[in-house]
């Protein structure tokens, strides 16, 4: 099984938009880049999406290749395929980690999610997200309140069961 992005952390963003990636995330990026070897910098894809997305979603090369394969299975010219192509091909930026383990987030990306001096990273298994810390807290609370299937007073591990975990 492939390595997974796990954990969360806050990192400083400098005036040029450089932000350190959590070290454990860098290892996953290296493992998920078929062209990476010692001494090279791992590649990744940052999907920023349209106005509905308030975070940056970061994919390893292998993870985005899996998404591309799924898109390719859809009928050419279908609305679903066009929407997915727009998101994962058009509203995305290929980049790499620099020699000091940082990403450079250009002004467009920082502006899109309202990033200034701090970034919040959270692992999502095969991807990780970068958020404005305040936006993440607001969105997390709103998501939990809006989900009729989710009980915030119950240990979420119960949803791993087959009966209740199908949601």
Model confidence, pTM: 0.86
pLDDT at res. 164: 46
- What would the pLDDT profile of 92-109 be if each residue is shown by its tens digit? 999 999 999 999 999 999
- Rg for the chain (alpha carbons), in Å? 17
Element (H, E) at 66: helix 61-72
Residue of higher predicted confidence among 161 and 32: 32
Alpha-carbon gap, residue 43 to 103, rounded angstroms: 10
pLDDT at res. 140: 75
* Per-residue confidence band for 54, with pLDDT thresholds at 50, 70 and 90: very high
pLDDT at res. 166: 47
Domains of the chain and CATH, by start:
8-145 (3.40.1550.20)
Alpha-carbon gap, residue 36 to 127, rounded angstroms: 18
Roughly how many angstroms between the first and final C-alpha of the chain, as a whole number? 24
Tokens in use for 108?
């467009």
pLDDT at res. 156: 66
What average pLDDT score do residues 45-52 get? 94
């Amino acid at each position: 099984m492939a390595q997974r992005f796990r954990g969360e952390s806050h990192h400083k963003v400098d005036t040029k938009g450089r932000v350190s990636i959590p070290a454990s995330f860098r290892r996953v990026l290296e493992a998920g880049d078929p062209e990476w070897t010692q001494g090279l910098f791992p590649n990744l894809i940052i999907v920023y999406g349209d106005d509905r997305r308030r975070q940056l979603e970061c994919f390893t090369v292998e993870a985005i290749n899996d998404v591309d394969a799924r898109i390719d299975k859809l009928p050419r010219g279908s609305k679903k395929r066009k929407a997915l192509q727009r998101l994962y091909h058009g509203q995305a930026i290929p980049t790499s980690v620099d020699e000091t383990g940082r990403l450079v987030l250009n002004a467009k990306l920082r502006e899109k999610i309202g990033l200034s001096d701090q970034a919040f990273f959270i692992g999502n298994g095969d991807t990780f997200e970068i958020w404005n810390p305040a936006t993440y807290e607001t969105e997390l609370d709103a998501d939990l309140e809006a989900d009729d299937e989710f009980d915030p007073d119950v240990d979420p591990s119960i949803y791993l069961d087959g009966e209740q975990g199908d949601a």
